[in-house]
């Protein structure tokens, strides 16, 4: 038997604690669960363990601000991760802020004008929002209601592309008009090579020199997802390894062999190498776009976007997680226990974290807690038997591992 702040708590081998309770029920118990000691991290088996290898280790640094991310960019000296109800910004890839406020919908891409005085984010249902500082966003009127996947500053104006050949232009991000397209395909992501736009689509690859008239350069049976360039060569990735293509002129796309069978969703040029990523935590890197090394994020995550700056890499997943290649300390895993109180009082749960100033969040529905879950402000009494799951967050650190326990309410003696 052990005594905790006035409660008599028999401790069993399965981690259960019990306490006497007031008249509405006879007792309550707390069965702690075994959980992973650390949040997800991984060291790619193909990667060197030396400190000069920027892809040697990945750490989860954010979770729960979005149901799923669609892409991540380096814009205006910060990383920007876009997703469902999320426009996340970070100066270092570790500390993230959701600037979306009350905005709804899913966001797929962002661009700015050359002076970085106007930022445009686009998304589903024709959603367009703008900002002058990437801190507050204003919805803009859109002439369409279909998904917009990509936005560029191109030929002195904003250009947005999306479903069914949708093309929108705007001089300032606020006033938008539709262009008549000569293609009906769904544009996805792309890049600019020379004076030409190169766009991956669900039907292949198309190019344009004015953003309105398009030429098919490659037709595929599986969708193409993204294109990146180092200024001399462009790399396109898609739904199958057969869709991995390279070009030097945007016209002839040559199939390149890579050592993966996974769908690739994103590719980017970091300044000194190409990085491609996709399903099942797959990461590939190449200094020249020709020779590729297979890596992994670890686990089984669908990577939707990659961005890099100064050897800091950020990956976002369709499960709402953000990873960085930096070695980041994790917040201590929270502790769940009965709170002190007088004998016979309503049993209350207390959540603690050893990391100073950490913010604790919990759920009562069995789901993993997110930074938007119920904030812990003090001991509380669950109204019924339920599973409590707890996670702690702190700026500049990786989220804690999840702690969980079953809070079990026993009915009063003789009740039915």
Whose tokens are 């003696």? That residue is 413
Whether pLDDT at 34 is above 90: no
Report the run of H or E that residue 189 belongs to, with start and end: strand 187-193
Confidence of residue 40 (pLDDT cuts 50, 70, 90): low
Query: What whole-number distance in Å separates Cα of residue 416 and Cα of residue 414?
Result: 7
Query: What whole-number distance in Å separates Cα of residue 82 and Cα of residue 150?
Result: 12
Say what the pTM is. 0.80
354-382 tens-digit pLDDT: 999 999 999 999 888 887 789 999 999 88
299-343 tens-digit pLDDT: 899 999 999 998 899 999 999 999 999 888 889 999 999 988 776
Per-residue tokens: 220: 């595929």
Residue bearing the bigger pLDDT, 89 or 194 = 89
Say what the pLDDT of residue 50 is: 41
Say what the pLDDT of residue 37 is: 62
What DSSP string runs through 129-166? EEESSSSS-EE---S--S-EEEEEEETTEEEEEEGGG-
Query: What whole-number distance in Å separates Cα of residue 389 and Cα of residue 360?
Result: 11
Task: Spell out the long-range contacts of 12-16 with Cβ–Cβ below 8 A and sequence spacing 24 or more.
Answer: 15/405
Average of pLDDT values for 178-197?
90
Confidence of residue 52 (pLDDT cuts 50, 70, 90): low
**Domains contained in the chain, CATH given:** 2-34+331-410 (no CATH), 41-324 (2.130.10.10)
- HEC letters along 81-99: EEEECEEEEECCCCCCEEC
Cβ-Cβ contacts under 8 Å for 267 (sequence gap 6 or more): 226, 227, 228, 235, 236, 237, 274, 275, 276, 277, 306
Q: Per 3-state DSSP, what percentage of the chain is helix, strand, and coil (rounded to 5)? A: 0, 45, 50
Residue 96's Cα: distance from chain center in Å? 11
Confidence of residue 12 (pLDDT cuts 50, 70, 90): very low
Partners of residue 350 on adjacent β-strands: 337
- Contact call for residues 268 and 275 (beta carbons, < 8 A): yes
Partners of residue 347 on adjacent β-strands: none
Average pLDDT of the chain, as a whole number: 86
Say what the pLDDT of residue 413 is: 55
Say what the pLDDT of residue 297 is: 87
Say what the pLDDT of residue 39 is: 57
Residue bearing the bigger pLDDT, 375 or 182 = 375
Residue bearing the bigger pLDDT, 250 or 19 = 250
Say what the pLDDT of residue 26 is: 53
Average of pLDDT values for 206-213?
93
């Amino acid at each position: 038997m052990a005594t905790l702040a006035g409660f008599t708590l028999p401790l069993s081998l399965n981690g259960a604690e019990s306490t006497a309770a007031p008249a509405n029920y006879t007792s309550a118990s707390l069965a702690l669960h075994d959980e992973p000691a650390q949040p997800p991290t991984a060291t790619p088996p193909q990667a060197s363990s030396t400190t000069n290898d920027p892809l040697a280790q990945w750490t989860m640094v954010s979770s729960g601000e979005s149901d799923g991310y669609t892409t991540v960019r380096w814009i205006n000296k910060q990383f920007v991760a876009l997703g469902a109800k999320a426009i996340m910004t970070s100066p270092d890839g570790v500390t993230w802020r959701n600037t979306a406020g009350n905005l709804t919908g899913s966001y797929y891409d962002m661009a700015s004008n050359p002076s970085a005085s106007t930022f445009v984010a686009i998304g589903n249902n024709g959603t367009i929002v703008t900002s002058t500082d990437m801190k507050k966003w204003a919805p803009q009127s859109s002439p369409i209601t279909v998904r917009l996947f990509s936005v560029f500053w191109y030929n002195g104006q904003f250009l947005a592309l999306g479903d069914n050949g949708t093309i929108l232009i705007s001089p300032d991000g606020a006033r938008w008009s539709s262009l008549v397209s000569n293609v009906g395909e769904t544009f996805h992501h792309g890049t600019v090579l020379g004076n030409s736009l190169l766009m991956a689509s669900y039907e292949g690859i198309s190019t344009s020199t004015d953003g309105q008239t398009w030429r098919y350069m490659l037709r595929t049976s599986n969708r193409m997802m993204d294109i990146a360039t180092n200024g001399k060569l462009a790399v396109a990735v898609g739904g199958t390894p057969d869709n991995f293509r390279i070009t030097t002129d945007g016209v002839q796309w040559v199939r390149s062999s890579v050592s993966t069978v996974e769908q690739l969703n994103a590719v980017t040029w970091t300044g000194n190498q190409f990085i491609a990523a996709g399903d099942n935590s797959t990461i590939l890197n190449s200094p020249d776009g020709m020779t590729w090394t297979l890596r992994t994020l670890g686990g089984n995550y669908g990577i939707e976007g990659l961005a890099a700056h100064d050897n800091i890499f950020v990956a976002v997943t369709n499960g709402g997680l953000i990873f960085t290649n930096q070695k980041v300390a994790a917040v201590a895993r929270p502790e769940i226990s009965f709170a002190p109180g007088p004998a016979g009082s309503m049993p209350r749960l207390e959540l603690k974290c050893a990391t100073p100033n950490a913010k604790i969040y919990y759920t009562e529905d069995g789901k993993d807690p997110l930074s938007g879950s119920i904030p812990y402000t003090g001991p509380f009494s669950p109204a019924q038997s339920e599973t409590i799951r707890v996670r702690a967050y702190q700026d500049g650190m990786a989220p804690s591992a999840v702690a969980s326990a079953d809070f079990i309410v026993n009915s009063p003696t003789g009740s039915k």
